[in-house]
């Protein structure tokens, strides 16, 4: 398993009502054992979360399943993160 950093950024179409679904998504990932840590940015422009996944494609699939992304409230950038 590799680690991937998923960086979310709010769009001009951000809807605060999508946040509850986002946290449900994160809770589900935590229960599945692939979410390591997460949190919002201090300037309220988005946030990031660190997951374990078997491939970049799987990590992108997880990121794109986030309700914030599916509904256009945010965009996601997925990077493999080789922590030391």
What are the tens digits of pLDDT across the range 17-41?
999 999 999 999 999 999 999 999 9
CA dist., res. 52 & res. 2, Å (int): 5
Question: Quick one: how far is CA 24 from the chain centroid?
Answer: 12
Cβ atoms of 61 and 1 within 8 Å: the answer is no
* Whole-number percent of the chain with pLDDT over 70: 100
Burial of 44 from C-beta contacts in 10 A (0-12 / 13-18 / 19+): exposed
Check pLDDT > 90 for residue 84: no
């Amino acid at each position: 398993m590799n680690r991937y950093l998923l960086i979310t950024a709010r769009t001009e179409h951000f809807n605060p009502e999508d946040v509850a679904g986002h946290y449900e998504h994160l809770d589900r990932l935590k229960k599945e054992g692939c979410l390591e840590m997460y949190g919002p940015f201090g300037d309220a422009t988005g946030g990031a979360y660190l997951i374990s996944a078997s491939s970049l494609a799987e990590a992108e699939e997880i990121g794109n399943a986030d309700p914030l992304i599916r509904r256009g409230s945010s965009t996601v950038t997925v990077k493999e993160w080789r922590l030391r």
